[in-house]
Amino acid sequence: MVNLEGKDILDGAQFSREEIDFTMSVADDFRKQLKERPAIDLLKGNIMASLFFEPSTRTRLSFETAMHRLGGNVVGFSSAESTSTAKGETLVDTIRTVDQYADVIAMRHPQIGSAKEAAAVAKAPVLNGGDGAGQHPTQALLDLYTIKSERGHVDGTTIVLCGDLKNGRTVHAGVEIYKHYNCKLIMVAPEQLKMPADILAKLRDHGVAFEETTDLEAALAKGDVLYMTRIQKERFTDPAEYERLKGSYILTREMVERIQPKLTIMHPLPRVNEITTDVDSLTNAAYFRQVGNGVFVRMALIASVLGKV
């Protein structure tokens, strides 16, 4: 019996296969319920604090939408400048404060480990919506949900992860989730932006089949799913290095049609230039449906940590 009540959601590695399956089925159930009505009365009177110290469109809005669709309320902020952080307040003091108001905390912060630091002082469960170049577990679960919903299954799938695998927190969390399935990972990145060695070591220990390459076209020829990512400009200390790497991989419609017409195309978004807009109208371009799935999966996680499912 899976019980996530009171748990923090901090990284992809914390999840067991049972917890992943449970989250997927609760998300599916919420998706069905929302076909009948705009909101569910499960969390009436509950408050979620939405603390975004770093820019966000989808993660913040989908966490907030998820809470509203569960019948709950939201307080929060969408930039650190409008808060006492600008006066020098520490993260820990801000969290101790918010803990007096809210039943659950969704947060994003530029520092790796910040969500863990918050969870250590908060009584309320903390949901990590991205900690710097660290982890982004709720995104990883909605990505898995998307693969299931687009293709019907995850086992047997070859997933191509492409772009900034060094700084991309979605892929750091993602591989910790995919490792529970019998799928193959092909990691495509420039030499400077490869998946960190400690994450690769964990995958090896877990017996995950993966390969690394710099050749996107060769990877696509073997892939079922492409998970494209943005080069993470804000993590670069040298702007010239970013300029050199930003055009490393660009997926075009011509490439999909020539190499792998059935490819399921995903991206956590925001897109900069790594998928050309002529790809958008392909039926297998899944990235905007992926955005919608974020609401169901975040509903499942919020309701779970509050002990309501």
The phi and psi torsions of 96 (rounded to 5 degrees) equal: -60, -35
Comparing CB distances to ligand NCD, the nearer of 184 and 298 is: 298
Angstrom distance (rounded) from CA 50 to CA 102: 9
Residues of span 86-145 touching ligand NCD by CB under 6 A:
130, 136, 139
Q: How far is the CB of 79 from ligand NCD (least distance, A)?
A: 14
Given a contact cutoff of 8 angstroms between Cβ atoms, the answer to whether 65 and 291 are in contact is no
Binding string, residues 10-49; x marks residues near ligand NCD by CB under 6 A: ----------------------------------------
In the list 42, 51, 58, 225, the residue contacting ligand NCD (rule: CB under 6 A) is 58
Comparing CB distances to ligand NCD, the nearer of 46 and 290 is: 290
Comparing CB distances to ligand NCD, the nearer of 229 and 260 is: 229
Which contiguous run of DSSP H or E holds residue 55?
A: none
Residue 169 interacting with ligand NCD (CB under 6 A): yes
**How deeply is 18 buried, as exposed, middle or buried, from its count of CB atoms within 10 A (0-12, 13-18, 19+)?**
exposed
Angstrom distance (rounded) from CA 51 to CA 105: 7
| Encoded amino acid at 154, one letter | V
Q: How far is the CB of 231 from ligand NCD (least distance, A)?
A: 9
DSSP 132: T
Angstrom distance (rounded) from CA 297 to CA 48: 16
In the list 46, 59, 248, 264, the residue contacting ligand NCD (rule: CB under 6 A) is 59
Binding residues with ligand NCD: total (CB under 6 A): 12
Q: Residue 270, preceding bond cis, omega within 30 degrees?
A: yes
Angstrom distance (rounded) from CA 66 to CA 38: 11
Q: How far is the CB of 258 from ligand NCD (least distance, A)?
A: 27
Angstrom distance (rounded) from CA 26 to CA 12: 18
Q: How far is the CB of 45 from ligand NCD (least distance, A)?
A: 28
Comparing CB distances to ligand NCD, the nearer of 12 and 268 is: 268
Residues of span 254-273 touching ligand NCD by CB under 6 A:
268-270
Q: How far is the CB of 291 from ligand NCD (least distance, A)?
A: 8
Comparing CB distances to ligand NCD, the nearer of 59 and 114 is: 59
In the list 31, 109, 184, 230, the residue contacting ligand NCD (rule: CB under 6 A) is 230
Given a contact cutoff of 8 angstroms between Cβ atoms, the answer to whether 65 and 299 are in contact is no
Angstrom distance (rounded) from CA 80 to CA 231: 23
Q: At what angle do helices 114-121 and 91-98 cross, to 10 degrees?
A: 50
DSSP 52: E
Given a contact cutoff of 8 angstroms between Cβ atoms, the answer to whether 33 and 40 are in contact is yes
Residue 166 interacting with ligand NCD (CB under 6 A): no
Comparing CB distances to ligand NCD, the nearer of 31 and 136 is: 136
Residue 170 interacting with ligand NCD (CB under 6 A): yes
Comparing CB distances to ligand NCD, the nearer of 136 and 184 is: 136
Count CB-CB contacts under 10 A for residue 41: 9
Comparing CB distances to ligand NCD, the nearer of 156 and 270 is: 270
End-to-end CA distance of the chain: give it in Å, rounded.
Answer: 11
Q: How far is the CB of 221 from ligand NCD (least distance, A)?
A: 25
Give the residues lining the site for ligand NCD (CB under 6 A): 58-59, 130, 136, 139, 169-170, 229-230, 268-270
